[in-house]
Amino acid sequence: MRAEKQFLIDEVQAHLKKSDYVILANFTKVTVADVAKLRAQLAAENAEYHVVKNSSLRVAAKALGLPDIDSALAGQTAIVVGGKTPYAVAKVLKGFFKDTQKLEVKIGVIEKKPISAEELSQLADLPSMDVLRAQLLGLFTQHGAAFVRVLNEKVKKEQPAAPAA
């Protein structure tokens, strides 16, 4: 293999190793200004957007043991890697598509399992971890408060009424 090709494959492998997920997107209609805006939004999530050659991505993915993504490697391909969670990154991508109608998610791979574009869209609709934690805490406190009220009513019923003065 030529040194130039090996360099490109190594570069794609380095990108893929940055996280336990990768999202492939078609960027055919995306302008340079759009890419700059998207990269800024992804940077807030510590994620990266890279345009890659399909042949280099195919070889790098196979070398890293990723599932077969050949069906998604048609047309122009960009990858999104890194970031705190794939859910937050999917939310950014979904918002970007909603605003610009340009970037199309092809497929994702999370923890070496293929995820369709529809499933990624559903993941993007999930609330953030902070919101989920707050909801869980609310459930715990709600039931605890109800339990305390029940105990308090039982104590009130069992106590004799105070004599009227």
Here the CATH number for the domain that contains residue 36 is: 3.30.70.1730
> Residue 13: what pLDDT?
80
Q: Are strands 47-52 and 21-26 parallel, antiparallel or unpaired?
A: unpaired
Query: Which phi-psi region, left, alpha or beta, contains residue 61 (left: φ > 0; alpha: ψ -120 to 50)?
Result: alpha
9-27 pLDDT, tens digit each:
888 888 878 888 888 888 8
Please give the share of the chain, as a percent, with pLDDT higher than 90: 0
Domain span at residue 136 reads 127-159
27 shares its domain with 70: yes
Contact yes or no for 47/80 (Cβ under 8 A): yes
In a domain, 165, yes or no: no
* Across 31-36, average pLDDT: 85
Handedness of CA 42, 105, 12, 115 (dihedral sign): positive
pTM of the entire predicted model? 0.70
96 shares its domain with 142: no
20 shares its domain with 99: yes
